[in-house]
Structure 1
Amino acid sequence: MNPIEGHLPSRSPLHDILAPTGIAVIGASSDSTKRGYKAMVGLIKDGYRGEIYPVNPKADMILGVKAWPSVTSIPGNPQLALICTPAATVPGLIAECGRRGIKGAVILASGFAEVGGEGAELEREMMAKAEAHGVRIIGPNTSGMFNLHHRINLLALDNVKPGDVGIISQSGNMLLSLALEAQHNGHVGFSTYVGPGNQSDIGFNDYLRYLGEDEHTRVATLYVEGFRDGRKFLEVAREVSAMKPVVVYKSGSTEQGQKAASSHTGALAGSYAMTVDLLRQSGVSMVQYSDEILPVAEGLGLLQKARGKRVAVISDGGGQATIASDRLAEAGLELAELSESTRAQLREVLFPQASTVNPVDVAGSTDANPSLLATCMEIVAADDNVDSIFLVGMFGGYSVRFAESLLGDEMRGAEAMVDLANATEKPLVIYSLYTPIKPPALRRLHEAGLPVYASIEHSVRVLAALGDRGQHLAQYHSHARTAAVEPLPALDAMFRQARAEGRDLLEYEAKQLLREHGVVVPLELVARSEAELAEAAARFGDTPLAMKIVSRDILHKSDAGGVRLNLVGEAALHEAREAILASCRAYDPDAEIEGVLVTPMAQKGVEVIIGVIRDPIFGPVLMFGLGGVFVEILEDVAFRAIPLSRHDASSMVDQLKARRVLEGARGEAAVDKEALVDLLLQVSSLVEAYPDLKELDLNPVIVNADGYAVVDARVIVDRETDVSDKEAH
């Protein structure tokens, strides 16, 4: 049963393509070195139940199956074509497929957009034919696909067994690595695999939607180099992750990796940190290392979720208990505080020297009776303070290490663990150092659907994913996102004027935009003359003031000497104005200067930065971080796709490594977090209302116990995109 009754808007059209009743193999061959041969072998060996139509004008039979000279000569009704011929032949073949009524084509050839130039033009020609004839394209530059529950194996991979892990991978070698790992593991099987290649037509969002609907897929797993339509993927991931786990490994975490991804698939690789945050916001379970992909997919597929992040560790070795505790803390998990009742029950069954404080160390109590580990698991599972149980040590290997006579006890312990797993919703995760040799007790656990790992690190990564998913699902229905505000005519006119003049919004205009939509902005006055400056001095009296240049041509005011602080009295204002004007004219003699902006100094507090960009892949994205060295050196920032929910905004604040600064470090008062969350939501809600807003930068915003003060605001106007195009989009 799904944890949340979710559904996707309509049935994916990919079902007919990825589970076809007939397949045409264009370029089928009797040459064992050719892909057209391997595909035929894969279909025949796996017992594909549909019709196979090899297409080769030079052969009458291929591997005992009648061949056809062309696509249009096929008498049956194939739904999918596998094209194994060179790139130059593809556009014409796509047109033939369309005329024959074939709905989809898998294109193996490379030499398209990923190489640029003529390849990109060839891909455009291919897509024009596909759109004209109603053919959906998998690839090009794809490794192929399989659907093992329908006995379709176009890769002719050996020893891959059907299961419930769906794989979409932009790397054929990564799929091969996962298949070999699953073969060695012996317990993980696959449902559908697709290599999306260049994603010229069908993209990750389409494949994920299919896996979300596929009854044979329990967990969707993706290796991603780059998205074509990241915005759409986030929306689909939000829906699918409410129904089943979605695991993503995103390559390109470094500048070098991003360059490699671009040259490999022509993909657009954006900021890695931003991508990770946005995918997690949509409920995706991210893995950082490639060897975590299959363990996390298996663990989530078997266990789905944990209620929270409080873990009880039961160990038969102190060293490994310590290692487990370290890794749990690093992963953001908590050692559950066991109740006194739980500890008392543990003391009744364990030796006096055993530790009943989490992590529980049985201290030799199980050497003569390993089934006692199951008893300990049953005791802690009943504790309301525990969300999941982590067994660490040598279970399964007692009969190997000590005496064969312990095998019966281990098997009884395994059965008790299976019974416990069926009786509780709390995940049971087992790490055993004997996992590689697959002793009987561990085989029994695996057969019953309990994940058993040979690595503490992999086990902890699974526990973390279960906890994250449980929390996401628990808050799913409270993730209502803020609606965009209605644009105000006067502000629309302000943007149009800035576009017409080829400039960005001036600071006071940016603050007017914020103020009109509910953001608290300090009073400020623009002084364009000495007389107006005198009026400002009279208005503010003895209040310490800040003065800044107002110029469309000077964006970095401090660099130009365009800022003066802590000014008190009219004389100080006049002196500061003269100094600012002189500095800015020396900095840029041609700069158009409107005047100076005068505003009260902000109260003491913590500097934060709030920014918005319109990412070409993911659309509008909000960034939040601490200001100063934190953002410039440590890059301690959080990202969320706009629009945000209140949970999204709150989690941005909690995500920062330096959040203790906001919580009141060294005796300072904690900042008003709710006011800060309100500000993030207000910024989120106004961005979508103004399509001309390309970037927004509030830096710094001073936050304290009394609220916040927007000290500086900058809005970059989109002067390149046609407004009518954006409104239509």
Structure 2
Amino acid sequence: MNPIEGHLPIRSPLHDILAPTGIAVIGASSDPTKRGYKAMVGLIKDGFRGDIYPVNPKADMILGVKAWPSIAEIPGNPELALICTPAASVPGLISECGRRGIKGAVILASGFAEMDAEGAALESEMMARAKAHGVRIIGPNTSGVFNLHHRLNLLALDNVRPGDVGIISQSGNMLLSLALEAQYNGQVGFSTYVGPGNQSDIGFNDYLRYLGEDEHTRVATLYVEGFRDGRNFLDVAREVTAMKPVVVYKSGSTAAGQKAASSHTGALAGSYAMTVDLLKQSGVSVVQHSDEILPVAEGLGLLQKARGKRVAVISDGGGQATIASDRLSEAGLELAELSEQTRQKLREVLFPQASTVNPVDVAGSTDANPSLLATCMEIVAADDNVDSVFLVGMFGGYSIRFAESLLGDEMRGAEAMVDLSKATGKPLVVYSLYTPIKPPALRRLHEAGLPIYASIEHAVRVLSALGERGQYLAQVERQSRERSVTPLPELSAMFQRAQREGRDLFEYEAKQLLRDHGIEVPLELVVRNEAELAEAAQRFGETPLAMKVVSKDILHKSDAGGVKLNVVGEAAMREARQAILASCLAYDAGAEIEGVLVTPMAKKGVEVILGVIRDPIFGPVLMFGLGGIFVEILEDVAFRSIPLSRHDAEDMVEQIKARKILAGVRGEKAVDKSALVDLLLKVSRIADAYPELSELDLNPVIVNSDGYAVVDARVIVDREHVATKESVA
């Protein structure tokens, strides 16, 4: 599917608002210091193709355009209103817009919910009137809007050219920065820009859907400070990224990260790392530095994707080839292994001292013949082991560095590269140290649609984004997200009982939940008295046991002395039980103790953690990482939105830095990754099936070469969610 030709199932209502045939500028002004003046200037200078209706009761004409005293007296039917008046006037004006049939309003004023309680009340009143009259709201507290292909420029920005990069930014200064960067670049242009402001009505997911449908947008680019409906955004992102690239720069962390956490998973969820993982799971290209936003957006817009992450580097300088190799490796890219046939073809055109392994160092072969670089690019691009080609060095500057007579040869080389870019499906990315002065050969490449970078780091980030997008698109066609299991009535009743008693699930109940849905959990018994202890001793014999307190009042069992390990035999079990009860009552004299849980010790293996949290922004999220007591210190974890696909589960296992431990070190056998993936999928299904489950921690889970053992399980119950008849059917 062509990225521009794709479409989403539901057409966004924003098309009428952001591409209006008429606009009312409420608060239009002849005062150059007013936003109502700047908006009029932008519309007039850019040649807005629709009708402009300035609204100002004190003026007959504004900048040569007839003004109207009120919204009601406008003669036409504008779809959009730009409101440039103070916050207090907005609710009434929204009602007037609705009565006039105006579909959307851009509200510039601040002083709403971002300020104080009084402002929040004003915003609520505004939204009540907007809903009553069917008016969609952009903002309030927005920096504005432009749609350059429709010559709608409400920001009056100069020197921004129409193009295919759509931008949604919560920072007006960030837009200005990108606009100035694009002006310096000379080839990047924009389609639509919106400052979402407070998102009181229209949010990031709505804007992304619009950009996904917009025929003029080839890549959607977002600067995000905070999502209001992250779950919906992820759903829309999955649809849009299947058609065109989406680039996100996320600043800060979600509000969820500020709450007091009640579990290991809760302590780590809501973090910036979680947000990044969830965005990537939906196919979004996440940039972590603000100066990467436009380079990555341009590169993805022009080149779309690479088949994979194998890069061939061609360089005319050994030092920069080494730097490029370092950066590629750090970014998770591979230096492609060139075939012997490819290397032989390179040897035929290069000096004997040239290196034909990747990175290819031409070693002076191109000093008098720079077009030879294009020949080398063509040779390596034909290699099946290569997914993308990276030219590194001084192309474009040979005629400056050596002799002006080389300009013609450089231009021929540039034309050959342009032809190659059209003939191959593999991205060609160029870094040149002469990029800042824009010599003719580089200008030709850039004008023809090849991204040119003045930074090796920026070029590598683009190559990484291209490879990630290609791999995502390849797997998303094969993977479906696995749906939940059917809730079992007895387990739903167990949740309801815990809710009535104002507690979380006991550990044995949590393990019953797991066991009944196919997760392997070791045999365990709850010992409440001496008779039950004797029965347990007979059942387990001389097997080493773990014994743990069962109490709704004691959450951290080890801290309370509520855990004894490697207990063998009835006498030791009796002694351990008495010690546990004494220690726990000393820890909390009022604690209600139901009993002591007895289970066989897990055999040796690697400790991992699986956790679930219902994030207030993104909904149910699964976490996986290295387990034990260090999980919150090391933070070596991966997050995915629930429900997972099998690829999601496999990717989580490979993402953590401790994956080498899972593969086996110092003579230890590799763990059973297939069993681990199966466990992740089963936990995902359980969390999806039981909305009463607020948080879940399986920590530790011992994984080894022949499976896993869930050592400890904790389920925090949602006190507010009450299961319906449908959820237990």
State the TM bucket, normalised to the shorter chain.
Answer: over 0.9
Q: Describe the SS at the equivalent of 2:670.
A: coil
Amino acid across the alignment from 1:454? A
Amino acid across the alignment from 1:446? H
Aligned equivalent of 2:623: 623
Query: Is the 2:256–2:616 Cα contact (8 Å) retained in structure 1?
Result: no
Distance verdict in 2 for CA 1:233–1:315, change over 3 Å: same
Q: Describe the SS at the equivalent of 2:30.
A: coil
CA separation in 1, counterparts of 2:462 and 2:573? Answer: 61
Q: Describe the SS at the equivalent of 1:31.
A: coil
1:465: Cα distance to partner? 0.1
CA separation in 2, counterparts of 1:107 and 1:254? Answer: 25
* 1:306 and 2:313 matched: no
Give the TM-score, by structure 2 length. 0.97
Map residues 591-610 of structure 1 onto 2, 5 A cutoff: 591-610=591-610
1:628: Cα distance to partner? 3.1
CA deviation map 1:560-608 (0-9, x unaligned):
0000010111111001000000000100110000110000000100000
1:4: Cα distance to partner? 11
CA separation in 2, counterparts of 1:226 and 1:726? Answer: 34
Distance verdict in 2 for CA 1:637–1:226, change over 3 Å: same
Query: Is the 2:226–2:254 Cα contact (8 Å) retained in structure 1?
Result: no
CA separation in 2, counterparts of 1:581 and 1:372? Answer: 81
* 1:551 and 2:551 matched: yes
1:659: Cα distance to partner? 0.7
Amino acid across the alignment from 1:591? A
1:687: Cα distance to partner? 0.8
1:253: Cα distance to partner? 5.3
CA separation in 2, counterparts of 1:3 and 1:133? Answer: 36
In the comparison of the two structures, how many residue pairs are matched?
Answer: 719
CA separation in 2, counterparts of 1:334 and 1:630? Answer: 31
The percentage of counterpart residues that share the same residue type is 85
1:338: Cα distance to partner? 0.6
1:322: Cα distance to partner? 0.5
Query: Is the 1:638–1:656 Cα contact (8 Å) retained in structure 2?
Result: yes
Distance verdict in 2 for CA 1:258–1:181, change over 3 Å: farther
CA separation in 2, counterparts of 1:389 and 1:113? Answer: 50
Amino acid across the alignment from 1:92? G
Map residues 425-444 of structure 1 onto 2, 5 A cutoff: 425-444=425-444
Query: Is the 1:2–1:243 Cα contact (8 Å) retained in structure 2?
Result: yes
CA separation in 1, counterparts of 2:53 and 2:721? Answer: 48
1:257: Cα distance to partner? 12
1:212: Cα distance to partner? 0.3
* 1:331 and 2:331 matched: yes
Aligned equivalent of 2:717: 717
Aligned equivalent of 2:501: 501
Query: Is the 1:630–1:636 Cα contact (8 Å) retained in structure 2?
Result: no
CA deviation map 1:523-581 (0-9, x unaligned):
00001110001000100111111100011111110000000010111111001000000
Query: Is the 1:614–1:695 Cα contact (8 Å) retained in structure 2?
Result: yes
Distance verdict in 2 for CA 1:485–1:388, change over 3 Å: same
Amino acid across the alignment from 1:483? R
* Superposition CA RMSD, Å: 1.7
CA separation in 1, counterparts of 2:6 and 2:183? Answer: 33
Query: Is the 1:4–1:473 Cα contact (8 Å) retained in structure 2?
Result: no
Extract structure 1 runs of 4+ deviating beyond 4 A: 3-6, 253-259, 721-728
Aligned equivalent of 2:461: 461
* 1:542 and 2:550 matched: no
* 1:129 and 2:139 matched: no
1:19: Cα distance to partner? 0.2
1:115: Cα distance to partner? 1.2
Query: Is the 1:43–1:156 Cα contact (8 Å) retained in structure 2?
Result: yes
* 1:29 and 2:29 matched: yes
Aligned equivalent of 2:81: 81
Aligned equivalent of 1:670: 670
Amino acid across the alignment from 1:434? Y
Query: Is the 1:187–1:446 Cα contact (8 Å) retained in structure 2?
Result: yes
1:478: Cα distance to partner? 2.0
Amino acid across the alignment from 2:354? A
Aligned equivalent of 1:357: 357
Query: Is the 1:4–1:242 Cα contact (8 Å) retained in structure 2?
Result: no
CA deviation map 1:646-671 (0-9, x unaligned):
00001001000111000111221000
* 1:151 and 2:151 matched: yes
Structure 2 runs not aligned, ≥5 long: 260-268
Q: Describe the SS at the equivalent of 1:688.
A: helix
Aligned equivalent of 1:9: 9
Query: Is the 1:230–1:617 Cα contact (8 Å) retained in structure 2?
Result: yes
Query: Is the 2:392–2:432 Cα contact (8 Å) retained in structure 1?
Result: yes
CA separation in 2, counterparts of 1:124 and 1:390? Answer: 53
Query: Is the 1:39–1:155 Cα contact (8 Å) retained in structure 2?
Result: yes
Aligned equivalent of 1:195: 195
CA separation in 1, counterparts of 2:498 and 2:270? Answer: 29
Aligned equivalent of 1:421: 421
CA separation in 2, counterparts of 1:258 and 1:587? Answer: 29
Aligned equivalent of 1:681: 681
Of 624-633 and 321-330, the range deviating more from structure 2? 624-633
CA separation in 1, counterparts of 2:341 and 2:669? Answer: 38
Amino acid across the alignment from 1:48? F
Query: Is the 2:377–2:389 Cα contact (8 Å) retained in structure 1?
Result: yes
Distance verdict in 2 for CA 1:107–1:288, change over 3 Å: same
Aligned equivalent of 1:281: 281
1:192: Cα distance to partner? 0.2
1:630: Cα distance to partner? 5.0
CA separation in 2, counterparts of 1:170 and 1:375? Answer: 45
Distance verdict in 2 for CA 1:254–1:684, change over 3 Å: closer
Amino acid across the alignment from 1:191? S
* 1:489 and 2:489 matched: yes
Structure 1 runs not aligned, ≥5 long: 260-268
Aligned equivalent of 2:296: 296
CA separation in 1, counterparts of 2:252 and 2:666? Answer: 38
Q: Describe the SS at the equivalent of 2:459.
A: helix
Query: Is the 1:691–1:726 Cα contact (8 Å) retained in structure 2?
Result: no
CA deviation map 1:214-261 (0-9, x unaligned):
0000000000000010000000000000000000000015999999xx
CA deviation map 1:110-150 (0-9, x unaligned):
11111121011111111000000000000000000000000
Distance verdict in 2 for CA 1:470–1:515, change over 3 Å: same
CA deviation map 1:291-323 (0-9, x unaligned):
000000000000000000000000000000000
Aligned equivalent of 1:521: 521
